Structure 1
Amino acid sequence: MKRSIRFFTVSALAAGIAACGGGSDGSGSTGTVSFDVTDAPAMEFSSVTVTFTGISLKPQDGEWVEFSFDEPKTWDLLDLQGGVSEPLITDEEVPAGPYSELRLLVDTGGSYVELEAEPGIEKSLAVPSGQQSGLKLKGEFLVAADTTTDFTIDFDVKKSIVNPQGTSLADYLLKPSLRLVNNLEVGSISGEVDYVTLSQTRANDADLADCATGYEGAVYIYEGINATPTDINVNSEEAGPLMAVPVADDDYDGIYTYTAAFLTAGEYTISYSCQLDDNETDDGLDFEGTQNVTVVANTNVEADPIPLLP
């Protein structure tokens, strides 16, 4: 069952998993948890299909709690965008208290990618040797006692899929960039982009770089206010955008829209570029419509239309 970020109801259906493990906060209390998976959008792939076989949680002062799925869960992560997610586990009882790490177990034999430039051709996807025990996400999170805590794991495909350039037996490597959010603490940003006007303006102005052919652009999301827009450069140590969300005319009515979901409540800077981000070099994209947006938990915030009005 796919879920929408703010208005979903936790499913009461059985998750089809078996659990083992232990550990607690020392009081013997328990809580229940649900973990979903979603994807921050990528632009060069037409499909990123990943097969999950389990999830493990590490209490700060206890043993791993492991959930192995009776049947693998396979999804094209590119379907899980704009606030859509899929359940990994639902309403499972675990020790209450702080946790320090989680791991996602992946079957690479059932995982592959397809490129926009090569439709219908499946490229193999492998996990680096250091990740064989599971795709790791380190960082503290809290399971409250005697209640249900819902989390979402944001699986950033654009930062997670790496081309090994002939140094691996697989076509691509899965070196995950994961972000964990508590669903009670997140909201979303949505808005419109006048792509047609922007692209025509650039085509008619010799001083402006043209928009990329066949690409409507993306809205880049940065943490904090007044951030300087930059591209996504996975080889840079500098902080880049939290995500880049492609705009699209989904209803074919000439209105190009976007939604950036599962954002923790707080201050953000957003900006738009119609130029293709090559993900490897910092050639400097041209950005428009830069603005500050405050995200409120359990709320969709409408950003100002791009380009900004005078």
Structure 2
Amino acid sequence: MKHTLIRGFTVAALAAAVSACGGGGSGSSDGATGSVSLNITDAPTDAFTEVVITFTGVTLKPNDGEAITIEFDEPKTLDLLTLQGGESAPLLEDVEVAAGDYAWIRLTLDESNLYVMNESGGMETLAVPSGAQTGLKLVSGFTVAAGGESDFTIDFDVRKSIVNPQGNGVAADYFLKPALRLVNNLEVGSITGTVDYATINQSDTCDYEGMTYIYLGADVEPTDLNLNSDGGPLMAVPVSDDENPGTYTYKAAFLSEGDYTVSYSCQLDDNETDNALTFIGTQNVAVVAGEESTADIDAPAP
């Protein structure tokens, strides 16, 4: 993809200017530069059939110095639901910027081209309050290595991001309240597993195939997904037999290395209210960078 940088600077010239503004602080590396790549992914969801977002640029803010705004020569339109299960799409590819520490990222959107497709095939509008002025801001520190290549992914997580406006003065069917998560691609792994849904459905009253809930840290007591409460799962991944009918599986990707708690529920979970869910198969899982960990969900003993 081609990019246009603010005020017509070349990338190298802009990087040098930003480095000079930093005055040698933690936000720069004495004029050194590095390349940065930025990708988009989505934690799986089954609430919609399409979620379409159009990106027009990216802004990177060093700890010291002026922000770097990169405008795309052509907008980048993505259906986030095609970017699940470890798939991603590039926003920036090997763009040279000042090396050092950065404070935040802002994604600029074309608000005239945001929409979702519901399960009935209807198109519904999507709005971001103040999005045209500020974009989607992700306050998460990261470092661009001097002379190296830094590769990051932003997890959009549609299930956490799209809510009903409910009279909040938003002239749209849905409200985009992004739950963005930034990860370093060199430091992530995944969790995958099978779910004994057929047996679970015989012994429990299931509303649907269910979701596997992923919590940051070991020995976490599982709770439902509620955007209006603190805590809760890092992500909730739908269970499906789409790839192999009769075999129910899930995959949680782009997880930073560390300890996690995994659990499962087949009861409906409204992401805006408290739900008293029954969880089974709760277990601790360690994620190692570059590896796929396994956590199968078995039916509880009779």
Question: What is the match of residue 287 of structure 2?
Answer: 295
Question: What is the match of residue 5 of structure 1?
Answer: none
Q: What is the rounded CA distance, in whole Å, between the counterparts of 1:308 and 1:56 in structure 2?
A: 49
- How far residue 72 of structure 1 moved from its aligned partner, in angstroms, is 1.1
Question: What is the match of residue 184 of structure 1?
Answer: 186
Q: Which has the higher strand share?
A: 1
Percentage identity across paired residues of the two chains: 58
- How far residue 127 of structure 1 moved from its aligned partner, in angstroms, is 1.2
User: 5 Å matches for 1:112-131?
Assistant: 112-116=115-119, 119-129=120-130
Conserved? CA contact 2:195–2:296, under 8 Å: no
RMSD: 1.6
Quick one: which of 18, 26, 30 aligns to 2:4?
18
What is the TM-score of this pair, normalised by structure 1? 0.88
Equivalent residue letter for 1:216: E
- How far residue 308 of structure 1 moved from its aligned partner, in angstroms, is 6.4
Question: What is the match of residue 136 of structure 1?
Answer: 137
- How far residue 301 of structure 1 moved from its aligned partner, in angstroms, is 0.8
Equivalent residue letter for 1:86: A
Q: Deviations over 1:143-190 (max 9, x none)?
A: 000010100001011121121123321111212110000001100000
Q: What is the rounded CA distance, in whole Å, between the counterparts of 1:180 and 1:309 in structure 2?
A: 39
What is the TM-score of this pair, normalised by structure 2? 0.90
User: 5 Å matches for 1:87-102?
Assistant: 87-102=90-105
Q: What is the rounded CA distance, in whole Å, between the counterparts of 2:301 and 2:202 in structure 1?
A: 17
Equivalent residue letter for 1:245: V
Equivalent pairs, count: 284
Question: What is the match of residue 230 of structure 1?
Answer: 223
Q: What is the rounded CA distance, in whole Å, between the counterparts of 2:240 and 2:212 in structure 1?
A: 11
Quick one: which of 247, 253, 271 aligns to 2:239?
247
Bigger drift between 251-260 and 96-105 goes to 251-260
Equivalent residue letter for 2:62: P
Q: What is the rounded CA distance, in whole Å, between the counterparts of 2:96 and 2:273 in structure 1?
A: 45
- How far residue 309 of structure 1 moved from its aligned partner, in angstroms, is 7.5
User: 5 Å matches for 1:1-310?
Assistant: 15-20=1-6, 21=14, 22-24=17-19, 25-116=28-119, 119-129=120-130, 132-166=133-167, 167-202=169-204, 210-212=205-207, 215-236=208-229, 238-307=230-299
Q: Unaligned stretches of 5+ in structure 1?
A: 1-14, 203-209
Q: Which has the higher helix share?
A: 2
- How far residue 224 of structure 1 moved from its aligned partner, in angstroms, is 0.6
Q: Unaligned stretches of 5+ in structure 2?
A: 7-13, 20-27
Equivalent residue letter for 2:203: T
